[in-house]
Amino acid sequence: MTSPISKSVTQGNFYVSSECDHVLNCVLGSCIAACLYDETQTIGGMAHFLLPCSNDRDGKESTKYGAYSMELLINEIMQRGGDKSRLKAKIFGGSQVTKGFSTVGEQNIDFIRAFLLHEGIQIVSENLGGKRARQVRFWPTTGRAQMMLLPNAIFDQPSKTKLMSTGRNEITLF
């Protein structure tokens, strides 16, 4: 058995893989990590976006915006053989990690839920909101996910966590 190959998905980027030894990872504050996968075709990916969408024309085609990043993620999965009708989602992030910071985390949460609903993509697990950063690991070929809440110097209290699980599509807390 080979060691997993870790791929960091940084802010404003996305990554798609059909390699069984790839594990995608990121650290989130107010950002969102949207992990999509097609179990039948054993392919998936992660988008890590900062803001829901742009208010100016110059920024609308930037992967730091969820609207553009999610379209690119879905299209790349489909180009590599995934079927949009079979895609499932696990979503993370949207914290308010800094006192007095804007409500961008809440805006990101509202966006990703509405986007996935509009696209007909089922959310099988989520861990959103709260006041703590998260570390996420995602295996794109199986949909397996791990998430850990990180200590925060400003806020050190539990996240308002909502975990949903259906069958083997669980999130493992580590």
Using pLDDT thresholds of 50, 70 and 90, give the confidence band for residue 6.
very high
Q: What is the pLDDT of residues 8-58, one digit of tens each?
A: 999 999 999 999 999 999 999 999 999 999 999 999 999 999 989 876 655
Structural domains in the chain (count): 1
Given a contact cutoff of 8 angstroms between Cβ atoms, the answer to whether 19 and 2 are in contact is no
Given a contact cutoff of 8 angstroms between Cβ atoms, the answer to whether 124 and 87 are in contact is no
Q: What stretches of the chain show up as alpha helix (H) in DSSP? A: 66-79, 104-119
Q: What is the pLDDT of residues 153-173, one digit of tens each?
A: 444 444 444 444 444 445 555
User: Measured between alpha carbons, how far is residue 24 from residues 98, 104, 107, 154 in Å?
Assistant: 26, 24, 24, 28
Structure tokens at 81: 């053989």
How many CB atoms sit inside 10 A of residue 130's CB? Answer: 22
CATH number at 10 reads 3.30.1330.200
Residue 41 lies in domain: 5-173
pTM over 0.75: yes
